[in-house]
Chains A and B, each alone.
Chain A
């Protein structure tokens, strides 16, 4: 399984962009990069995913380097409600079938300060 490395914690000022880095230097060519977040006492929430092109949705942008060894999740205007643990995950095949399981690392605790 490919591993990911994230800083354990980051701070961001409310209204500013939050840039969360992730290293995945052993990623395989067919593996996607996924981002989830977990707000305290809630289940994880899907944010965005990508293979090699940059992606953007209503929540965030995902920038993947050309060599795919790292990526950055960007929250363009962070709010206090964005305080959460953010997980960068490389999707691997599920041993039981064609669906893919998610292997969670420790993630980055993003604290958005007023």
Chain B
């Protein structure tokens, strides 16, 4: 199993600003995944973060809006840039291939 810690757990941000979400894992992992869950919706994969290479983004998500860092095998950050109210969501990081483990998420509200 893996224990995942996300920071912050929640935040309220002004439109036009950026927020960086941190994800720390208690073991080394090759890939980390970032998801978005809009209000009342299911989870949507934003990107896959590989250590030592550029993140792979899913259709509809771009690096300029959601830059990702992966400096080592236990840590990753997701930045939500130039936020608008439509970015209000829960953002979750995940690790694991056979059994995926998820953090508790970051609840973001943009006002």
Complex Cα–Cα for A96 and B30 (A) = 12
- Verify if B50 is at the interface (C-beta below 8 Å from A): yes
- Say yes or no: A46-B99 contact (C-beta < 8 A), given A96-B50, A97-B31, A99-B31: yes
Cβ-Cβ contact count across A and B, 8 Å cutoff:
56
Closest to B31 in A: A99
Q: How large is the interface on B (under 10, 10 to 19, 20 to 34, 35 or more residues)?
A: 20 to 34
- Say yes or no: A95-B56 contact (C-beta < 8 A), given A43-B92, A44-B43: yes
Whether A99 and B30, one on each chain, are in contact in the complex, defined by CB atoms closer than 8 angstroms, is yes
The dominant DSSP class at the B interface is strand
- Verify if A77 is at the interface (C-beta below 8 Å from B): no
Q: How far is the CB of B15 from chain A (nearest CB, A)?
A: 24
Give the number of chain A interface residues (Cβ < 8 Å).
21
Whether B43 and A45, one on each chain, are in contact in the complex, defined by CB atoms closer than 8 angstroms, is no
Complex Cα–Cα for A102 and B45 (A) = 8
A residues within 8 A CB of B102? 43-45
- Verify if A101 is at the interface (C-beta below 8 Å from B): yes
Whether A101 and B104, one on each chain, are in contact in the complex, defined by CB atoms closer than 8 angstroms, is no
- Verify if A15 is at the interface (C-beta below 8 Å from B): no
Q: How far is the CB of B92 from chain A (nearest CB, A)?
A: 5
Segment 23-51 of B: residues with Cβ below 8 Å from A: 30-31, 33, 35, 42-45, 48, 50
Closest to A106 in B: B42
As a 0/1 sequence over residues 50 to 76 of chain B, the CB contacts with chain A under 8 angstroms (1 = contact) are 100000100000000000000000000
As a 0/1 sequence over residues 75 to 98 of chain A, the CB contacts with chain B under 8 angstroms (1 = contact) are 000000000000100000011110
Complex Cα–Cα for A100 and B99 (A) = 10
- Verify if A103 is at the interface (C-beta below 8 Å from B): yes
- Say yes or no: A101-B45 contact (C-beta < 8 A), given A43-B92, A96-B56: yes
Complex Cα–Cα for A43 and B4 (A) = 10
Interface residues of A (CB under 8 A from B): 36, 42-46, 49, 87, 94-97, 99-107
Interface residues of B (CB under 8 A from A): 4, 30-31, 33, 35, 42-45, 48, 50, 56, 92, 94, 96-105
